[in-house]
Amino acid sequence: MRSNFRTALSAAALAVLFAAGSARAQVTAAKGYEPVDDTPTVRPGVTIFADYTYQEKPEVKDAAGNTIHQNSFNVSRAYLTIAGSLSHLISYRVTGDVQNDNNAADTSLNGSSVFRLKYAYGQVNFDEWLGKGDWIRIGANQTPWIDYNEGIYRYRFQGKIFTDAEGFLSSSDYGISGHYNLPSNFGDLHVGLYNGEGYNSLADSNGANDQKAFQARFSLRPTPGIAVINGLRINLFYDGDNYLKDSEKQRFLAGLTYESPCINAGFEYLDAKDQKTPGGADVHADGWSAWATPRTSFGLEGLFRYDELKPNKDVSGKKQRLVAGVAYWFPLVKGVSSAIMADYTSVTFDKSLGKPDTRAYALHTLFSF
């Protein structure tokens, strides 16, 4: 009987110890705590811009001397991306830009596609200390203005936005930049120090100049708590650079952007100064762009855009661009985009500029994941 009592007592003691151990193992963290995941990740991605374009004007001559309307199927861009994280503090991205190059130094490449690096940067995240979306990047990374606007415009696959299309800014450059989100969703600030020539040029690293570009964009959301106009932001941008010492290269931009379930829209005004050689002519250009993309709840959208540029304020003559189109965005999961768009583009020049007008019809497509 004593033996049975001891056995029962031992079994009870083991049960208590096991229960205590299980209780310790099942203790949960305080409410609101999210454990840090430092598992390294790798995410591949592909973006393709493919189109068919019919050029109504100007007409061109073929190899036999016949007058024709140029038309072709094209892949204007193919981005290959590897992105991910080393930990919750460190992330990275590498994107290769594959495009046609008819101006290659090696003429055997003319008419072929070439590969160049668009993004290649490491990122330090400050979410734990400053807030979500705050970081520093170093390498070939996004410049403040174009990346911000393209995220709202969403029609880069049809064509570049105004300041990129006219060659005043590049979407990526070699340098270091930082991003900070204002508290309570009042806006954000993106500041960077770059080579200034853009990602498609290694001029600074080849010793062509010792100048650096300071770029900064500040976007203010004046009414973050009012649903109807929550998507309105006031934007200011400055780019201070030099081609060479004492040869200024400056851009100032001011504009508005608006996002809502029914329409996205934007307006920007550009003021640019370029003095490519010390003591040379200081060319002062200005212009503006306005666009709107009304949308439906079933994927059908429109695009209406007008650009106007005066390349030199001291010389009469303007360049005007009109874009109109209709697009369908396929219903896909988050992180994947696919769209098809029929559009018309007209570019006209005042006679004093001495350039031919162009008119084209196109079918553009986007495939991205």
Tokens of 241: 């650079």
Three-state secondary-structure class, residue 249: strand
State mean pLDDT over 177-202: 92
User: Could you read off the pLDDT of 210-247 as tens digits, one per residue?
Assistant: 899 999 999 999 998 888 899 999 999 999 999 988 89
Pairing of strands 67-68, 232-244: unpaired
Of 2-16, 286-300, 343-357, least confident by mean pLDDT is 2-16
Nearest residue to 368 (alpha-carbon basis) of 52, 77, 144: 77
State mean pLDDT over 315-321: 94
Beta bridge partners of 192: 177, 215
State mean pLDDT over 155-183: 96
Domains of the chain with CATH codes: 55-368 (2.40.160.10)
User: Which amino acid is located at 72 in the chain?
Assistant: S
Mean pLDDT computed over every residue of the chain: 87
270 compared with 207, residue with greater pLDDT = 270
> In the structure, what pLDDT confidence band is assigned to residue 18 with cuts at 50, 70 and 90?
very low
What is the torsional sign of CA 326, 330, 334, 336?
negative
Query: Would you mind telling me the total number of residues written for the chain in this entry?
Result: 369
Question: Does pLDDT of 61 surpass 60?
Answer: yes
Q: Cα 310 vs. chain centroid, distance in angstroms?
A: 25
Cα separation, 313 vs 349, in Å, equals 15
Nearest residue to 169 (alpha-carbon basis) of 287, 90, 60, 72: 287
pLDDT exceeding 70 applies to what percent of the chain? 85
Q: How many CB atoms lie within 10 A of CB 5?
A: 9
3-state helix/strand/coil string of 154-220: CCCCCCCCHHHHCCCCCCEEEEEEEEEECHHHCEEEEEEEECCCCCCCCCCCCCCCCCCEEEEEEEE
> In the structure, what pLDDT confidence band is assigned to residue 207 with cuts at 50, 70 and 90?
low
Residue 7, pLDDT score: 43
Residue 205, pLDDT score: 52
Angle at the Cα of 258 (from 119 to 362), degrees rounded to 5?
A: 65
Element (H, E) at 233: strand 232-244
User: Could you read off the pLDDT of 254-295 as tens digits, one per residue?
Assistant: 999 999 999 999 999 999 999 988 888 899 999 999 999 999
Residue 346, pLDDT score: 97
> In the structure, what pLDDT confidence band is assigned to residue 9 with cuts at 50, 70 and 90?
very low
User: Which amino acid is located at 101 in the chain?
Assistant: D
Q: Cα 299 vs. chain centroid, distance in angstroms?
A: 22
Three-state secondary-structure class, residue 224: coil
Please list, in sequence order, all residues whose beta carbon lies within 8 angstroms of the beta carbon of residue 309, skipping any fewer than 6 positions away: 162, 166, 270, 285, 286, 287, 318, 319, 320
Three-state secondary-structure class, residue 99: strand
Task: Tell me how far CA of residue 142 lies from CA of 4, 171, 199, 268, 302, in angstroms.
Answer: 76, 6, 9, 19, 27
User: Which amino acid is located at 279 in the chain?
Assistant: G
User: Which amino acid is located at 277 in the chain?
Assistant: T
Residue 234, pLDDT score: 98
